[in-house]
Amino acid sequence: MPQLKKHIVIVGGGAGGLELAVKLGRRLGKRGEADITLVDRARTHVWKPLLHQVAAGTLDSHAEELEYLALARRHHFRFRLGELTSLDRERREIRLAPVLSLEGEELIPESALGYDMLVIAVGSQSNDFNTPGARENCIFLDSPQAAQYFHRKLVDASMRAQTGSAVPGEGRFTVAIIGGGATGVELAAELHMTARIMDSYGLQNLHPERDLKITILDAAPRILPLLPERVSGAVAQELRKLDIDIHTNEKVVEITAQGIRMASGKFIPGALRVWAAGIKAPEFLKNFGGLQTNRINQILVDRSLRSVDDEHIFAFGDCAACPLDDKGGALVPPRAQAAHQQASMLASSIPRILAGKSALRFSYKDHGSLVSLGEYSTVGSLMGGIRRGSVFIEGLFAKCMYWSLHKQHQVAINGGFRTWLATWVEAIDRIRNPRIKLH
What is the block-wise mean pLDDT of the chain (439 residues), using blocks of 10 residues?
A: 80 95 96 96 89 82 84 96 96 95 89 97 93 94 88 78 52 84 90 78 58 89 88 90 93 94 93 91 93 96 97 97 86 91 97 96 88 77 52 67 76 82 72 56
Do 67 and 43 contact (CB within 8 A), yes or no? yes
- Give the pLDDT of residue 167: 44
Ordered structural domains, the chain, with CATH:
6-124+281-354 (3.50.50.60), 134-278 (3.50.50.60)
- Give the pLDDT of residue 439: 53
The SS3 assignment for 153 reads helix
Give the CA distances from residue 383 to residues 107, 227, 367, 378, in Å, rounded to whole numbers and listed in that order: 48, 12, 5, 16
Cα 134 versus chain centre, distance: 20
Cβ-defined contacts of 239-244 (< 8 Å, 24+)? 239/185, 239/188, 239/189, 239/373, 242/189, 242/192, 242/208, 242/214, 242/376, 243/208, 243/209, 243/213, 244/188, 244/189, 244/192, 244/214, 244/215, 244/216
- Give the pLDDT of residue 435: 55
23 sits in the region (left: phi over 0; alpha: psi -120 to 50; else beta) called alpha
Question: Mean of the per-residue pLDDT values for the chain?
Answer: 86
Cα 219 versus chain centre, distance: 22
What residues contact residue 249 under an 8 Å CB cut-off, 6+ apart? 219, 220, 221
- Give the pLDDT of residue 226: 81
| Rounded-to-integer distance, Cα 50 and Cα 61, Å | 9
- Give the pLDDT of residue 387: 39
Termini Cα distance of the chain? 60
Read off the pTM. Answer: 0.88
- Give the pLDDT of residue 155: 79
What residues contact residue 198 under an 8 Å CB cut-off, 6+ apart? 158, 206, 436, 438
What phi and psi, each to the nearest 5 degrees, are found at residue 181?
-80, -170
